[in-house]
Amino acid sequence: MLDERKIKVLWAVIDSYIRGAEPVGSRTISKEYDLGISSATIRNEMSDLEELGYLSKPHISSGRVPSDKAYRFYVNNIIKNNQIKTDVRKKEEIKRLLTQESIEIDELLQNSAKILSAITSYTALAVSPRIKNMRLKHIQLVSIDDNEVLIILVGSSGIVKNLVLRTKEVVSEDHLERVSNFLNHKLKGYTINEIGTSIKHDILREMHQYKNLIDRVILETINSFDHYNDVQVYADGVTNIFDFPEYKDASKAKTFISFIEDKDQLIDLLLKNSLNSEIEITIGSENIYDQIKDCSLITTTYRLGDKIIGKIGVIGPTRMDYLMAISSLKLFSENLSEILEKLING
C-alpha cells in the first residue's frame, strides 16, 4: 500500500510524463509541482517507487517513467474517486456535431469515431449493434416526390436504415400509409432472414392491388442488410499515432496501423468481454495482442433504453491522458444513447 507522499510523487511523475513524453527526474518534479518536500526526498520516494514496480529507468542516467502498474493504479483511483465529471456545454456541442449529418446508425457511428478522434487526438473506434438476429420493429413509407418513396426501417437492436425507392407511378400518401400499416402488422417481430417467400406470398395475396410496391419494398429491405456482418467496426484517426514520439519509429507505427486495419482482429479485441461494463481500460501488457502491448485501450458502451447495444473507444500510447479520454468517452456514451433513443422512438 502506497502512503500519501508516494502517491503524490507518483501522480506528479505520471502527469509530467503524459504531458512531456520525457523521462522525469526529481528536479523536474521539485520545480514544477508544489509537493512541500525537497528534491532529495522526491528522489528517495522515486527510488522506492521503482523498487515497488511503479516506475522504471529507460537508461542509466535518465529520469524515470511510469510502468503499466503505475497507470493501472492511477486509472483505478480516477474511477474509484469519481473524478469523471460531465461538462454540460461540451456534451451539447458533441451532440450538435453528432446529429448534424447522422441520419442512420452507421452514419452516426462513423461520425462518432471521426469526432472522438478529433477531440482526443487518439485513434477512435465504434462498434455497431449485433444485427445477425435483428427483428424489424417498424417500417414507414414516406413520399419524397412524385416518383420517389423513402423507406424508413427500424430494427429492435437499434439499426435504422433509410432507403430511397424510385417508382414508375405516383403513389399517394394515403396508399403509402395503408401499405406501411399493413407491412408493420405483417412483418413486425420477424428477422430479415425470416422474411422469406412464404411470408411475402401471404402479404401479396392480401394486398394484391399494391403488389409491385410491396414486392419492391420487401426486396429493398432484405437487400439493405445483406452487406452487414454480425457487427461493424468503424475506426478514425489511425494516422494520429504518428504524432506521438513513441511511434516515430516507422516500423512500430506500421505494426499499429496494420493491427487497426484488420477488422476481424479489431472486433475480437473490442468484444472479447461481454457488453456489461460502462468503462473498460486495458493497459499495455494487459492487452492480449503483441502488436499493441505499448498501447492502452479505453472503451465504453452505449444503450438503447436499458439495453447495451454497442461500444465506442479510443486506443493510443500507454502515456495517454486517461482522465481526458475517459471523460470524453462518457460524454459520447451519453449522447449516443440519447440520440438513438430519439432516433428509434421519436
pLDDT band with cut points at 50, 70 and 90 for residue 343: low
Instruction: Look up the pTM and report it.
Output: 0.76
* Confidence class for position 86, pLDDT limits 50, 70, 90: confident
CA angle 192, 231, 304 (to 5 degrees): 80
Q: What is residue 157's predicted lDDT score, i.e. its pLDDT?
A: 58
Q: In a 10 Å sphere around its CB, with 0-12 CB exposed, 13-18 middle and 19+ buried, how is residue 342 labelled?
A: exposed
Identify which of 200-214, 294-308, 332-346 has the greatest average pLDDT: 294-308
pLDDT of the residue at 174: 87
Bigger pLDDT: 230 vs 191 = 191
Per-residue pLDDT at 204: 65
SS3 letters across 152-165:
EEEECCCCEEEEEE
Specify the pLDDT at position 345: 59
Q: Which residues contact 84 (CB under 8 A, 6 or more apart)?
A: 78, 323, 326, 327, 330
Segment 95-127, tens digit of pLDDT: 998 887 656 777 888 999 999 999 999 999 998
What is the predicted pLDDT for the residue at 28? 94
Report d(CA 191, CA 196) in Å as an integer: 10
Q: Report the 10 Å Cβ neighbour count for 51.
A: 9
The partner residues of 314 in beta bridges, in order of sequence, read 124, 298
Q: Indicate the pLDDT class of residue 65, thresholds 50, 70 and 90.
A: very high
Is 60 exceeded by the pLDDT of residue 229?
no
CB 308 within 8 A of CB 340: no
Residue 227's pLDDT is 54
The secondary element (H helix, E strand) that includes residue 56 is strand 55-56
Whether pLDDT at 197 is above 60? no
Q: Of all residues in the chain, what percent carry a pLDDT higher than 70?
A: 88
Q: Which residues pair with 295 in a beta bridge?
A: 317
Q: Give residue 29's pLDDT band: very low, low, confident or very high (50, 70, 90).
A: very high
Q: Which residue stretches of the chain are H helix?
A: 4-20, 26-32, 39-51, 68-80, 88-100, 105-120, 173-187, 197-206, 211-224, 250-261, 263-270, 322-345
Nearest to 340 by CA among 47, 75, 103, 46: 103
Conformation bin of residue 305: beta by default, left when phi > 0, alpha when psi is -120 to 50: left
Position with higher pLDDT, 157 vs 139: 139
pLDDT tens column, 300-315: 998 877 777 789 999 9
Q: Which domains does the chain have, with CATH numbers?
A: 4-66 (1.10.10.10), 90-129+231-345 (3.30.450.40), 136-224 (3.30.390.60)
pLDDT band at 320 (very low <50, low <70, confident <90, very high): very high
